[in-house]
């Protein structure tokens, strides 16, 4: 190698000279574990974190903080370093106090016999004149898909719902511990009169998850079948 020279030998072997010199250098640890020479020392990083925790910056993005500090004539570090400091302290997220909804389990309801599981809901019906509506209360047995109780009223009321459920349970001969009633989270469904009635009758009540619209499919499908007319092909329509 010394007599011929490095360049001719690398050319004959088809090896780049950069690869030859790189293999002569001792191996170093991974770059991720090495400290960069221009990195901020721990005391300066603590100062940056203190500034990020100031009340005026608690809901500001690093780019906004960086610009505001420059307007004040202060330069602590680059905008990217602000993100690095936040990431080291697990704060690269929404740092304001946010309302977080808990993870509600999916309601599991199952019916094997009649009068074991009911589903009820309230829907609006168009009246005979414009801007007039009626409210249809329907209680349906999930096992047989039959309507066990219904009521049409001018308004939605927890008292009317309580009266309907009480009469329906009495008419069907429901005994304590036999029945489960599932509904969504409407005002009448979650009202105190209805809850007290369920407790007095020994009926278990379940509700849909908050902010979920498809946890009560039995009543929703029933309303759609009743309210949406069937669209048959012209040749199948009755004359």
- Can you give the pLDDT of all 239 residues of the chain as single tens digits? 557 788 888 888 888 888 888 888 766 655 566 667 788 889 999 999 999 999 999 888 899 999 999 999 999 999 999 999 999 988 887 766 677 778 888 888 889 999 999 999 999 988 888 888 999 999 999 999 999 999 999 999 999 999 999 999 999 999 999 999 999 999 999 999 999 999 999 999 999 988 888 888 889 888 888 777 766 565 554 44
Q: Residue 189 in contact with residue 183, Cβ under 8 Å?
A: yes
Return the closest-CA partner of residue 59 out of 98, 100, 99, 94.
Answer: 94
Establish if 201 belongs to a structural domain. yes
Beta-strand ranges (E) seen in 74-172 are 117-126, 133-141, 147-153
Look up residue 48 and give its two tokens: 């940056």
Establish if 174 belongs to a structural domain. yes
145 with 209, same domain: the answer is yes
219 with 123, same domain: the answer is yes
Task: Give, in order, the Cα–Cα distances in Å from 28 to each of 23, 60, 131.
Answer: 11, 40, 79
Specify the pTM.
0.57
Residues 6+ apart with CB under 8 A from 210: 101, 104, 185
Tell me how far apart the alpha carbons of residues 107 and 170 are, in angstroms, rounded to a whole number.
26
126 with 223, same domain: the answer is yes
Establish if 14 belongs to a structural domain. no
Domain housing 122: 117-227
């Amino acid at each position: 190698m010394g007599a011929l020279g490095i360049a001719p030998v690398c050319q004959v072997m088809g090896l780049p000279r950069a690869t030859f010199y790189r293999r002569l250098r001792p191996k170093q640890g991974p770059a991720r574990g090495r400290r960069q020479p221009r990195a901020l020392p721990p005391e300066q990083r603590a100062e940056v974190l203190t500034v990020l925790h100031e009340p005026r910056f608690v809901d500001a993005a690093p780019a906004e903080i960086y610009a505001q500090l420059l307007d004040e004539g202060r330069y602590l570090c680059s905008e990217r370093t602000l993100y690095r400091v936040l990431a080291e302290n697990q704060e690269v997220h929404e740092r304001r106090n946010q309302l977080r909804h808990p993870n509600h389990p999916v309601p599991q309801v199952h019916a094997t016999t009649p009068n074991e599981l009911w589903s009820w809901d309230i829907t609006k019906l168009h009246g005979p004149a414009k801007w007039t509506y009626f409210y249809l209360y329907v209680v349906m047995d999930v096992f047989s898909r039959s309507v066990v109780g219904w009521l049409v009223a001018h308004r939605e009321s927890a008292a009317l719902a309580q009266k309907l459920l009480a009469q329906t349970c009495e008419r069907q001969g429901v005994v304590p511990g036999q029945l489960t009633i599932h509904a969504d989270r409407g005002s009448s469904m979650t009202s105190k009169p209805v809850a007290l009635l369920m407790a007095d009758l020994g009926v278990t009540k379940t509700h849909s998850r908050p902010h979920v619209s498809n946890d009560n499919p039995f009543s929703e499908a029933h309303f759609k079948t009743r309210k949406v007319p069937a669209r048959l092909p012209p040749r199948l329509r009755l004359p």
